[in-house]
Homo-oligomer: A and B are copies of this chain.
């Protein structure tokens, strides 16, 4: 996956320096035309997905007997395809599985990469279902100027971070494309089925490929489609091809799965359902382009407490007034304040978050307070994460990445 990270490459200007009039959202670039970021309502209409409304949230609560995750309640996971069908299946005691992924483009993952995985972990626990996590190291090799060996090594490093988030080893299979495609004739057969069902013209229309793109890029979408089908994992699903799939991912990955859903019935497989999340803003603000190579644009999982403090204090874009007086008078703007936006993603206490929102908007709280709150929260998260990651040995990675039976009692 190019960008299942939830972190977006946000840019006010297009590649040619002009200001685009419409948001551009695809797996390789995200341009927001507005300073407040991508217009997600428009995106739902353009992509033809469905908004997650209060009726669906109620169905979640009924199906699970617990309130939906705060990322759902807060509209960060904001759009879906066929989620109502998945909830109905669950209520009938019928099986499904989760599929998400990560494009391992570097050793370092940042906080934005973590969000979809934390949400996926919640889904796994709430529904008690198997999960497959695709590491698209082949894609990163094709798109970037790196060797296969480097791409594969990023998979291992990223897998350690993912595992450290606490996935259940009995229900989770993490796989490197570079290893698993060469270990699973059934996965390769599904790649072939999808590759036969999509023309260059269609791939060009969906992904914007050009004739100068390498043939690996052009056929890659089939590789990201294949894990949507349970027959790609005969060792998990007892060779059944009819187990439906739910894909939690950032909305920029939707083109892959629109294509997959179009192809699925033609190859006799169920269409995957989807849950879409919004993008995680860069420190510099919703419209700033985030760069993994720019250490100042994001908080990395390897950052020290001091680095976190310095970055937030120095770079986190403020929605507050220019002076204390002005701030007290007009209040802060939560919509563009990066610290507040980050708290929405990480602070699970609804009441506390709402209080912060009110007090910041009224001008009572200064930006400094929000930053302090966020710094403490991130420092605690990272301290805990870094300890857990140390415990993830190569042996543990091997356990998660070995093709094997998972707990799946159907």
Contacts and interface: CB of A to CB of B under 8 A. Distances in A.
A203 interface: yes
Contacts of A195: 142, 214-216, 219
Interface in A110-145: 138, 141-142
Given A199-B213, A212-B201, A214-B198, A178 B189 contact: yes
A193 B197 CA distance: 24
A222 interface: yes
Given A215-B218, A218-B218, A138 B192 contact: yes
A216 B211 contact: no
Contacts of A138: 188, 192
Interface in A203-217: 203-204, 209-216
Contact of A185 (B182, B187, B192): B182
A359 interface: no
Interface in A311-362: none
Contacts of A218: 200, 215, 218-219
B178 A203 contact: no
A239 interface: no
A199 B187 contact: no
Contacts of A211: 199-201, 204
A197 B195 CA distance: 19
A183 interface: yes
Nearest to A137: B192
A211 B192 CA distance: 18
A148 B189 CA distance: 7
A181 interface: yes
A99 B285 CA distance: 57
B182 A181 contact: yes
A198 B182 contact: no
A142 B192 contact: yes
B178 A192 contact: yes
A27 to B, nearest CB: 16
A43 to B, nearest CB: 26
A215 B216 CA distance: 9
A181 to B, nearest CB: 5
A186 interface: yes
A184 interface: yes
Contact of A182 (B184, B196, B216, B219): B184
A201 B179 CA distance: 29
A232 to B, nearest CB: 10
A221 interface: yes
Interface of A: 138, 141-142, 148, 178-179, 181-189, 192-193, 195-201, 203-204, 209-216, 218-219, 221-222
22 contacts: A142-B192, A142-B195, A148-B192, A178-B188, A178-B192, A179-B185, A182-B185, A182-B187, A183-B185, A192-B216, A195-B216, A196-B214, A196-B216, A198-B215, A199-B215, A200-B200, A200-B211, A200-B214, A200-B215, A215-B221, A216-B219, A219-B219
Q: Which 8 A-B pairs have the closest CB atoms?
A: A195-B216, A182-B185, A219-B219, A182-B188, A215-B219, A201-B211, A200-B211, A181-B188
